[in-house]
Structure 1
Amino acid sequence: MSDSDHEAVTLRPGEHWQLRLPALGAAGYTWTWRTEGDAGAVKIDQGRPPAEELEGRPFGTSADALFTVTAVRPGRIALQLEHHRVWEQDKPPIERRRYDIVVT
């Protein structure tokens, strides 16, 4: 399992920050996230790369996970992400990431 150091991100209301993480979806892994702190300070959307980026890739290839964080109002949150198989409750994630987000 890999735990990355946490990173600090500063945004202003209306700004967007996009996070792209390598995923192993073809092997059953997914990124899940949770926040601590002022969750109303940001809006978080999870998605996939655009279809045209995935065109021509071999069937069964994993696609990266995209997270878009939109700053809503001043506040501070910690965004914690885990890369794991959701049905393997007894196993630790293969990777964890943490981002401290401040909206000024």
Structure 2
Amino acid sequence: MEVREVELAPGEPYEVRLTGRGARGYVWTWRVTGDADAVSVAESPVDPVDPVDPGRPLLPGATVERLYVVRGRVAGRARIRFAQVRPPYPEEAAFDEFVLDVTVL
């Protein structure tokens, strides 16, 4: 699990790119703790491209990157925990996790 810290001004965006495993049934979820009003999180579309040959379309089942935009809203400190889970199996531990500690100045 990676933990990263960032400082943002109100309105400033920060991009988080996470590797998807949708073909295996995993999705990324997130939960904001601390000053939850200090930030907003939104998933943005990413054009899937082959990392070896960007001109070639991805094959079915290929790994697709996910892009999330975290935006500072008001002064405060928030922790965002991204977890890669399989929704049909909520009792399973997350396959991967990423934590972003955000301070909005």
Question: Scaled by the length of structure 1, what TM-score is found?
Answer: 0.86
Shift in Å at residue 89 of structure 1? 1.5
What is the match of residue 24 of structure 2? Answer: 27
Aligned-pair identity in percent equals 28
Q: Which runs of 5+ in 1 are unaligned?
A: none
C-alpha distance in 2 between matches for 1:30 and 1:8: 23
What is the match of residue 46 of structure 1? Answer: 43
What is the match of residue 56 of structure 1? Answer: 57
State the one-letter code of the partner of 2:38. A
C-alpha distance in 2 between matches for 1:49 and 1:18: 12
Aligned residues: 100
Shift in Å at residue 59 of structure 1? 2.5
Q: 1:23-70 CA deviation, whole Å, 9 max, x = no partner?
A: 10111101110010111111110133136x476111232311111011
C-alpha distance in 2 between matches for 1:102 and 1:36: 12
What is the match of residue 77 of structure 2? Answer: 76
C-alpha distance in 2 between matches for 1:48 and 1:61: 16
Shift in Å at residue 86 of structure 1? 1.2
State the one-letter code of the partner of 1:12. A
Q: Which runs of 5+ in 2 are unaligned?
A: 51-55
The root-mean-square deviation of aligned C-alpha atoms, in Å, is 1.6
What is the match of residue 8 of structure 2? Answer: 11
Contact 1:18 1:68 in 2 (8 A): yes
